[in-house]
Amino acid sequence: MTYLKKFVVPILVFLVVVSNASSSAANGGESQVPSQLVGFSQAIPPFATAKDGDITRGVNYASGSAGIRDESGNKLGTHVSLNKQLENHRNIISRLANIMGNQTDCLLNKCLYTVGMGSNDYINNYFLPQSPARTLFSPDQYAAELIDQYSQQIKSLHDAGARKMALFGLGLIGCTPFEMASSGNNGSCADNINSAAQLFNGRLVSLVDELNKELADAKVTYINMTGITTGGDPSRIGIKVVNAGCCPINNVGQCVPNSIPCPNRNEYAFFDGFHPTEIVNKVSAARCYKADSPSDAYPFDISHLVQG
């Protein structure tokens, strides 16, 4: 536990909209909330600016619009795909070795790795108009392709020393304000997107079982973001608006530059067209760490993952 409270490696925790993952659309550092729950008082530094004095306590590789597939998110400009994030992690390992020498492997084995990928492979790839992926794959075939590639990426993370990994499933990405407004269903959720996401989630659970059998020296768990983010009445935490963002939204679902966000963001589930507000992130992160329901995580929540 000593090492875990010093070093958490978030490849991508939830979904962020900026390359500098020390901040987020929700103005609350959504990628940082889980790190606070395991003992951090400060945000994990992003890879782009992490100095040698920072990296011994953790690195955040998160990149807005990044995906499992390299082309996912290309329409939104420069981003760091999961493959590139893994390359950046190997760079950090080399820097750690210069600092810690033969203690590097021991540290890496005791770190907590949180990985949440897949949303952009649907929202900013498969379900884009005239998407090449959608002409090549049925939804089930695409989920299989994603999980096959994801499996290799997670195994490469294991090869680099990861032994405690939390893999985040997809939420109801068809129920974001942007997708609801774009679905043509009179403001209802885009059921085709949600159905595709659940195909991915089902295969991700199977992948977790496979990894736990194949990687005998590792512990891997699945975080059920659909269950966590849809369970309960949002008004119980003060949420009044679930179908619109706190800020004015442009044609790609992000806040209009220089626009003024709502003054009562704690009453909104979403900050922009896609990303949850800080209050939603905090409540969700608490359930990721310590499950409220047996369905929140499989086979165990993050509090159990970090033990030992």
Residues 6+ apart with CB under 8 A from 84: 63, 66, 70
Give the residue-averaged pLDDT of 188-204: 97
22 in a structural domain: yes
What pLDDT was estimated at residue 53? 86
Q: Looking at residue 54, which CATH number applies to its domain?
A: 3.40.50
Give the range among 18-27, 79-88, 158-167, 191-200 with minimum mean pLDDT: 18-27
User: Mean pLDDT, the chain, as a whole number?
Assistant: 86
Judged against a pLDDT cut of 80, whether residue 156 lies above it is answered with: yes
Is 291 in contact with 280 (CB distance < 8 Å)?
no
1 in a structural domain: no
Residues 6+ apart with CB under 8 A from 123: 173, 179, 193, 274
Report residue 238's pLDDT band, with 50, 70 and 90 as the boundaries: very high
* Edge-to-edge strands, sheet with 112-115: 8-12, 112-115, 164-168, 219-223, 297-298
CA–CA dist 82, 293 (Å, integer): 30
3 in a structural domain: no
Domain with 66 in it:
8-305
229 in a structural domain: yes
Judged against a pLDDT cut of 60, whether residue 204 lies above it is answered with: yes
Give the number of other Cβ atoms within 10 Å of residue 53's Cβ: 9
Give the residue-averaged pLDDT of 166-190: 90
CA–CA dist 136, 6 (Å, integer): 44
What pLDDT was estimated at residue 176? 94
CA–CA dist 240, 265 (Å, integer): 10
Q: What are the tens digits of pLDDT across the range 263-278?
A: 999 999 999 999 999 9
Judged against a pLDDT cut of 70, whether residue 126 lies above it is answered with: yes
Is 273 in contact with 253 (CB distance < 8 Å)?
yes
Is 153 in contact with 68 (CB distance < 8 Å)?
yes
What pLDDT was estimated at residue 34? 57
2 in a structural domain: no
Closest of 21, 26, 51, 191 to residue 116, by C-alpha: 21
Our count of domains for the chain comes to 1
What pLDDT was estimated at residue 184? 76
CA–CA dist 194, 216 (Å, integer): 33
Judged against a pLDDT cut of 50, whether residue 4 lies above it is answered with: no
Report residue 36's pLDDT band, with 50, 70 and 90 as the boundaries: low
Tell me the percentage of the chain whose pLDDT exceeds 90: 66
